[in-house]
Amino acid sequence: MVSQNEIKTVGVITSQSLSKWGNIQEEVEKILKVQNVKFFSFLDVNKKYKSSLNHFSDKSFNWQGEIQQTELLGFLEEPFDLLIGYFNKKNTFIESAVLHSKATFKVGISEVNQKLYDMEIVEIPSNIKNFLIELKKYLILLNKIKN
């Protein structure tokens, strides 16, 4: 069951490799006209990872797959009105984070794992702006944001 609430709070989970295409957080705030978007990024190349405020890695999970990083747990416990999963390749750790999020409405790039999301959008990951414009159209149709 999808929440009927209007979108006021937004969280974004992405991968470090997609962050290079632009400032996702800034684009979300500008296009969806929301403030204080919270952002968490998976560091997928740095093997000597240390806990950081807005980043996580495979080291954030214990051998049983439980999340150990306090900052990530806090992010996932927030009941965002919208969680955007902005990653385009299967990744057990990012998918686990999306799955454990308490967000009421989850959206992501298609072809990753349709069971994670309430809605998927087909877009090339480098086209952040196009992804968000398409998302905005659907959110308006669903009465989740105003035009």
CATH number for 44: 3.40.50
Q: What is the mean pLDDT of residues 16-44?
A: 83
Q: What is the pLDDT of residues 50-73, one digit of tens each?
A: 545 688 999 999 999 899 999 999
- Asked if pLDDT for residue 2 goes beyond 70, the answer is no
Is 4 inside a domain boundary?
no
Is 82 inside a domain boundary?
yes
Q: Is 99 helix (H, G, I), strand (E, B) or coil?
A: helix
- Asked if pLDDT for residue 44 goes beyond 80, the answer is no
Tell me, what DSSP letter sits at residue 67? B
10 pLDDT band, cuts 50/70/90, is very high
Structurally, the chain folds into a number of domains equal to 1
The total number of residues shown for the chain amounts to 147
- Asked if pLDDT for residue 6 goes beyond 70, the answer is yes
Is 146 inside a domain boundary?
no
* 3-state per-residue secondary structure call for 4-65: CCCCCCEEEEEEHHHHCCCCHHHHHHHHHCCCCCEEEEECCCCCCCCCECCEECHHHECCCC
Is 86 inside a domain boundary?
yes
- Residue 15 pLDDT: 87
Is 66 inside a domain boundary?
yes
Is 123 inside a domain boundary?
yes
* Residue 95 near residue 113 (C-beta atoms within 8 A): yes
- Residue 27 belongs to what domain range? 10-141
Is 81 inside a domain boundary?
yes
Is 1 inside a domain boundary?
no
Which is nearest to 92 in space by CA: 42, 48, 126, 140?
Answer: 42
